[in-house]
Amino acid sequence: MNSLSFINHTTDPFPSPELALKDPNGLLAIGGDLHPQRLLNAYYEGIFPWFNQHDPILWWSPDPRAIFVPGSVNIARSLRKYLRKKAWRITINHAFADVVAGCAMPRPGQDGTWITSEIRLAYQELHRLGRAHSFEVWQGERLIGGLYGLDVGQVFCGESMFHRETNASKAAFIALHQHALVKGYKLIDAQVMNPYLLSLGAKAIERKQFLALLYRYRDGEAMPGSWRASEVHLEL
């Protein structure tokens, strides 16, 4: 019978993702810290943190898992047409902290955010270490959308996205997808399925299948220089 594991701040390893609870779906462990190495260890095993402000740190590995496979994402014709009309500029790693801050803003109908100040500082440190990355969508000098996540070998683990203009987050996702395809990434982890991800072409697969893909690609290498700060152009 699966049971919740407790970990301390320094030494305890993560339990196997297969031991995660079924209710709530994917809850695996409680405790620990957000030290960069612990976070990297978590993603290396298909585990991610997700908790509300003032709650203890909770670690998850849900079943099923939402994923994208680079090269198999379909972009609706209407979205392509919409984006062709926009004079938006898209960049990589130009404003990581601002993207995380945008993602942290409460959504309509929400009282708060899971992207707490603790989470923001932790992922900014991963960005400083060259492991967490952002895509930014600009309208002139105004940041109107973006997303962030981190790389584990040839897997990009998406964390969150936001928009201040219609379809700006979709533009950021298309940029990520095209970048991942060109740079040799084999998998984009989207964590938990929702209608928005489904509209972008996400697939839900069993955790066992996701872990098999992760273990296959997590020690691979993307193209050198994949994440240098740059500007990208959408192929529409």
Place of tokens 């203009």: 165
| CA–CA gap between residue 75 and residue 89 (Å, rounded) | 19
Has residue 143 got a pLDDT over 80? Answer: yes
Per residue in 31-80, pLDDT (tens digit) is 999 999 999 999 999 999 999 888 999 999 999 999 999 998 889 999 99
Within the chain, all domains assigned CATH 3.40.630.70 are found at 66-232
Task: Identify whether the C-beta of residue 227 lies closer than 8 Å to the C-beta of residue 152.
Answer: no
The pLDDT assigned to 110 comes to 58
At 4, the pLDDT band (50, 70, 90 cuts) reads confident
| CA–CA gap between residue 229 and residue 80 (Å, rounded) | 25
Task: Identify whether the C-beta of residue 99 lies closer than 8 Å to the C-beta of residue 90.
Answer: no
Within the chain, all domains assigned CATH 3.30.70.3550 are found at 5-62
Per residue in 80-138, pLDDT (tens digit) is 999 999 999 999 999 999 999 999 998 665 555 789 999 999 999 999 999 999 999 99
Number of residues that this document lists for the chain: 236
Architecture of domain 5-62: 2-Layer Sandwich (3.30)
CA-CA-CA-CA torsion for 22, 27, 28, 33, nearest 10 degrees?
A: 180
Task: Identify whether the C-beta of residue 96 lies closer than 8 Å to the C-beta of residue 133.
Answer: yes
Per residue in 165-200, pLDDT (tens digit) is 999 999 999 999 999 999 999 999 999 999 999 989
Task: Identify whether the C-beta of residue 41 lies closer than 8 Å to the C-beta of residue 61.
Answer: no
Pairing of strands 203-205, 142-152: unpaired
| CA–CA gap between residue 134 and residue 124 (Å, rounded) | 11
The tokens describing 132, both together, are: 């967490």
| CA–CA gap between residue 193 and residue 32 (Å, rounded) | 26
The pLDDT assigned to 69 comes to 96
Rounded to two decimals, the pTM is 0.94
Has residue 232 got a pLDDT over 80? Answer: yes
Q: Does domain 66-232 have CATH number 3.40.50.150?
A: no
Has residue 1 got a pLDDT over 60? Answer: no
